[in-house]
Amino acid sequence: MIRIVSAKFLTSSVNSLDAPDFGISEVAFLGRSNVGKSSIINALTNHQGLAKSSSTPGKTQLINFFEVIFDNDGQKIPIIFVDLPGFGYAKVSKSLYSAWQKNLDEFLKNRINIKTFVHLVDSRHANLEKDENLGVYLNEFIRNDQKILNLYTKCDKLNQSERSKVLKMDSSAILVSSTKKTGIDKASETIYNSVFGL
């Protein structure tokens, strides 16, 4: 069985140049602002407040690194989780916004250690153009040792028929709720397996 046993904050970076190389495989959590990136890191690691979350979009402004220890049948394996600023958040000034997007773009394209991009999609709005664009964007530069994983967040807000609709659209969809802790074990096992190409 695969589960997460501990997690700790490592450091924050502004861009790819000042981000240290930890020599450990990384998982980058991506998605629109407010979709629940920081919250899912807290739910996966069972560590409230590890990644700062807020109901105000634009909470995460830096590239934040967390060391997460997985237990695979007694073997302890570290993986780095990377919490990122959301895209599509325009409440800050235009110049700050474009600086963020440039930093994010360079980081995603240059960061050798990223093995998995976890694309978080709000399960209530599962076919927004912004998310489609993110998928297209990632596919433009993804290497063959990298994977994209879609997680559908806030599924506690869906009824049964709305859940079925998401699964019909994406048969491999993983529905998660950070508040209700739904789908969290499945998500962590899927992330682990994708990092190691299993």
88 binds, among ligand GTP, Mg ion, none (CB under 5 to 8 A by kind): none
Structural contact between residues 35 and 122, judged by C-beta atoms closer than 8 angstroms: yes
Number of neighbours of residue 18 by Cβ within 10 angstroms:
11
Report which residue's Cβ sits closest to Mg ion: 60
Residue 178 interacts with Mg ion (CB under 5 A): yes or no: no
153 binds, among Mg ion, ligand GTP, none (CB under 5 to 8 A by kind): ligand GTP
Q: How far is the CB of 43 from ligand GTP (least distance, A)?
A: 7
Q: Which is nearer to ligand GTP, 58 or 78 (CB)?
A: 58
Residue 156 interacts with ligand GTP (CB under 6 A): yes or no: yes
Residue 34 interacts with ligand GTP (CB under 6 A): yes or no: yes
Give the Cα separation of 182 and 154 in Å (integer). 9
Give the footprint of Mg ion on residues 34-73 (CB under 5 A).
Answer: 37-38, 59-60
Give the footprint of Mg ion on residues 148-177 (CB under 5 A).
Answer: none
Residue 88 interacts with ligand GTP (CB under 6 A): yes or no: no
Alpha-carbon separation of residue 138 from 28, 30, 155, 156, 198 (angstroms): 12, 10, 24, 28, 21
Q: Which two tokens stand for residue 185?
A: 């074990």
Q: Exposure of 1 by Cβ count < 10 A (0-12 exposed, 13-18 middle, 19+ buried)?
A: exposed
Using CB under 6 A, which of 98, 110, 127, 179 touches ligand GTP? 179
Give the Cα separation of 143 and 156 in Å (integer). 34
Using CB under 6 A, which of 154, 158, 175, 187 touches ligand GTP? 154
Q: How far is the CB of 91 from ligand GTP (least distance, A)?
A: 10
State phi, psi for 13 to the nearest 5 degrees. -130, 155
Give the Cα separation of 22 and 88 in Å (integer). 29
Residue 59 interacts with ligand GTP (CB under 6 A): yes or no: yes
Structural contact between residues 50 and 56, judged by C-beta atoms closer than 8 angstroms: no
Structural contact between residues 140 and 109, judged by C-beta atoms closer than 8 angstroms: no
Residue numbers at the binding site for Mg ion (CB under 5 A): 37-38, 59-60
**Footprint of ligand GTP on this chain (CB under 6 A)?**
33-39, 53-55, 57-60, 85-86, 153-154, 156-157, 177-179
